[in-house]
Amino acid sequence: MGYSVGTVCFSSVFYGGLAGLLSGTALYAVLLITRCSQSIVMSATGPASMAYAADHSSREQRTKTMARLGTANSMGTILGPAVSGVLATFGLLAPLYFAAGLAAVAAVVVWRQLPVTPAAQLTPRKIAVKLRYADPRIALFLFTAVGLFIGFSAIQQTLGFQLQDKLHLSGIETAQMTGAAMLVSAVFTFVIQVTVMQRVQLRPMQFIRIGLASMLLGAIVVSAFETFAVLAIGMAFLGTGMALCMPSVSAGASLAVTPEEQGGAAGLVSSCPAIGFVIGPI
């Protein structure tokens, strides 16, 4: 609900700017305040989803379950730009209002249809000590996830400039090529999560090691490409690495803590992408 209401408010501020009701520094300040307020509330969705999934899956199925959550994210990454491109014909703000409506529908479905955890399976949530990033049981998983997103966000930040310089593209062509490159990555993430992660039985740390090797190879290819075909290969390796690593990080952290600490572990794992996307671009 926070995402839905927040997106409506955020979009409405933009509408005010387009209508001339706000401009300049005042518009920018209100946008920042609205966006931050939205993020504070909607950030609960990811950790709560992971904790719920952990509560409703066995230890043997934990990695597969977390991979399914990752698949949902990948599907959104693939479908989002396509849907937004169609909706943009109705106005620049149409995709944002559509996203708000879609989130509202999801909230109603979760409220009305998501199975409630049986009373017999409920775990007391009162814990004496909060989980911390330095907790030795999960520190390596968290460090890995932060590092992944620092590297991935740095590639995202510089990819457009590389494309423009190496392929001598215009601004519009650069945006199109960058979007296509990110789409390749998202498609491979999706494919690996619905195939390999659902059928191959490995421990989370084994998946992470293979994923890190794939991302290393992808980063080397991306740094040296001279044609879009070569770049696409590099992005495929990056997408594959993300597909192997992130569900495994979530599952590994979940398996390392007690049942009553699932929410805390999920919250820390969910914060890793945000930390990476803060540090990486800088």
- The mean pLDDT value of the chain amounts to 86
The pLDDT tens digits of the residues spanning 193-210 come to 888 888 888 899 999 999
Confidence label for 251 from pLDDT (cuts 50, 70 and 90): confident
The pLDDT tens digits of the residues spanning 97-155 come to 999 999 999 999 999 988 877 666 666 656 556 888 999 999 999 999 999 999 998 99
The pLDDT tens digits of the residues spanning 203-235 come to 999 999 999 999 999 999 999 999 999 999 999
Which CATH architecture best describes the domain 58-75+131-279? Answer: Up-down Bundle (1.20)
- Which pTM does this prediction carry? 0.71
The string of DSSP codes covering the chain is -HHHHHHHHHHHHHHHHHTTSS-HHHHHHHHHHHHHHHHHHHTTHHHHHHHHHHHTS-TTTHHHHHHHHHHHHHHHHHHHHHHHHHHGGG-TTHHHHHHHHHHHHHHHHHHHHSPPPPGGG------SS---TT-TTTHHHHHHHHHHHHHHHHHHHHHHHHHHHHHT--HHHHHHHHHHHHHHHHHHHHHHHHTHHHH----HHHHHHHHHHHHHHHHHHHHH--SHHHHHHHHHHHHHHHHHHHHHHHHHHHHHS-GGGHHHHHHHHHHHHHHHHHHTT-
